Structure 1
């Protein structure tokens, strides 16, 4: 049988689309000689895959209904009826409307998590006779929300202070904790997803030497419904911002660029939730660890001049 080489090409190079747009491109075939086939189809797929952590499996029967995949896009186009592909290069052009016509009637942003994944892809199937293996190729693309204007003057900055007194410990436990005081500020807890998380902190004083200070971004994924749910927090990325002991009273900047596919605007639905937290972690020389936790809300917003931010973020 003649070899069939083909690929799915999207018209937009960055493969980023908004809901309501037209997804267009072509499937390009390159055959060294004329090739017989039993039909060529192209499928558009968009799905939310939910998964339970192993610690929750078997606890709630209701889970098994609430964690079924959620279909957002499902459309198939016949590119060619059974026949032959010509020798050389041939192209089949396509267009798909990016619209969710059933519940939830919205296309969620592309997101790659641990227990929740929101994926969009094209799949091309070339059917062949039983003597030759059928062929399949896929091409993923990203869906993003259109950036919206927000009240840019609104501030959601948070000033914080961390000391033995602020920790959730008993009076007896606090006696063994080294005396220290860390103060600082997060510039914004409602953040545009294309902008870095910023702020600063200051080690005012400490009895014990500091080994490391880290900034950790955490995803909190919830799957389930009213009858029961599974909630899990997992690390996305950790940045070390101080290595070794530090001079007191020195202002240390906080600056974290958000990873593109592993974050998305905060999302709360009836079947699942995607939320985010930030941990400031202080590790002392004796490996005693202190953590300050911040609830973070991500949005996709317009820039201050009213123009849309680069949608590649």
Structure 2
């Protein structure tokens, strides 16, 4: 017997905001009538926090603070126990997107140690001999819009400006100047600017942009802060012409970034590293914190 269960949202992009209505249809397609014990829909939004391996065992109190945080949950019975007729059946549904208590609906974000996810699950219970059917669909929440004031940044990278260098005298001489249009970034617009290699005593092998997420989990007893790479883009290869402006251009990936977020139990922040690899395998890295917003 062929039977298909599906959940379809009215919005093709599956993007919603707090206070809106999540609407769609449950679609049942069957060649013949099917007996069932009820069809239900469960909508929930959860923040899952996870500790990195280096933090496990360091703070005992962490185990209480990394429990999943329930932002929103709702359950409705779509169809009472009975029979689904043959053919195609569409059952409409609506859920108000209102957070529990004084909580907020944080923006959808897929990280390493912090994960904010909103799902809609349809369950069809069946008799003992038949297997229950389930279908899950993820939808996105976009956060509140904010006003963004551009904050341009001019930077210089030279042996004197570098931090965490043990033997500064062993570094080859180089001078790199650059400009970021803003460090207060609109998440839907690219990070842009330019970079100029003024001089370098050693030939350059590569220049890269590295986008980094900084996730902090914890409580009053202590915090675990972990930085992980989201993406790495090469903006120049080989020994580039000196004095020539090299464009900086990076698009923020949709699910792996969100507006900068700070709460009691966790934080999600972002940084960009400008990485210059020299031919003698010296690695020069300059770090710039970013604030991401949605407008």
What TM-score do the two structures reach when normalised by structure 1? 0.92
Find the counterpart in structure 2 of residue 168 from structure 1.
Answer: 163
Aligned counterparts, 1:144-293, within 5 A: 144-148=142-146, 150=147, 154-169=149-164, 173-293=167-287
Partner of 2:9: 10
**Deviations 1:139-197, CA, capped at 9 Å, x for gaps:** 1100002434x26xx43111111111111256x71111000001111110001000100
What secondary structure does 1:194 align onto?
Answer: coil
Query: Once the two structures are superposed, what CA deviation does each residue of 1:39-83 show, in whole Å capped at 9, x if it has no partner?
Result: 110000110010000111111111011110000111000011111
Q: Using the alignment, how far apart are the partners of 1:140 and 1:106 within structure 2?
A: 18
Alignment: residue pair count: 295
Matches within 5 A, 1:294-305: 294-301=288-295
- Cα distance in 1 for residues equivalent to 2:164 and 2:225: 24
Task: Please state how far the C-alpha of 1:247 moved relative to its aligned partner.
Answer: 1.1
Alignment of 1:51-70 (within 5 A): 51-70=50-69
Cα distance in 2 for residues equivalent to 1:279 and 1:196: 15
Aligned to 1:310: none
Q: CA deviation at 1:92?
A: 1.3
Contact 1:3 1:35 in 2 (8 A): no
**1:3 to partner: Cα distance:** 4.0
Aligned mates of 2:169, 2:16 — CA distance in 1? 56
| Runs (5+) with no aligned partner, structure 2 | none
Is the counterpart of residue 77 in structure 1 residue 76 in structure 2?
yes
Residue 20 (structure 1) shift: 0.3
Match of residue 143, structure 1, among 124, 137, 141: 141
Determine the C-alpha separation between the residues in 2 that align with 1:272 and 1:3: 46
Moved over 2 A (4+): none
Among 125, 128, 150, which residue is 1:127 paired with? 125
2-side partners of 1:234 and 1:142: how far apart? 23
Distance 1:289 1:298, change over 3 A: same
Cα drift, residue 237 of structure 1: 0.4
1:95 aligns with 2:91: no
Looking at structure 2, the residues matched to 275 and 243 of structure 1 have their Cα atoms a distance apart, in angstroms, of: 29
Is the contact made by 1:29 and 1:91 (CA closer than 8 Å) also made in structure 2? yes
* Residue in structure 2 matched with residue 42 of structure 1 by the alignment: 41
Q: Quick one: distance in 2 between partners of 1:85 and 1:119?
A: 31
CA contact (8 A) 2:5 2:134 kept: no
**1:111–1:264: 8 Å Cα contact kept in structure 2?**
yes
Contact 1:223–1:271 (Cα < 8 Å) also in 2: yes
Unaligned runs of 5+ in 1: 302-313
Q: 1:11 & 1:294 partners in 2: Cα distance? A: 40
Please provide the CA RMSD for this pair. Answer: 1.1
**What secondary structure does 2:167 align onto?**
helix
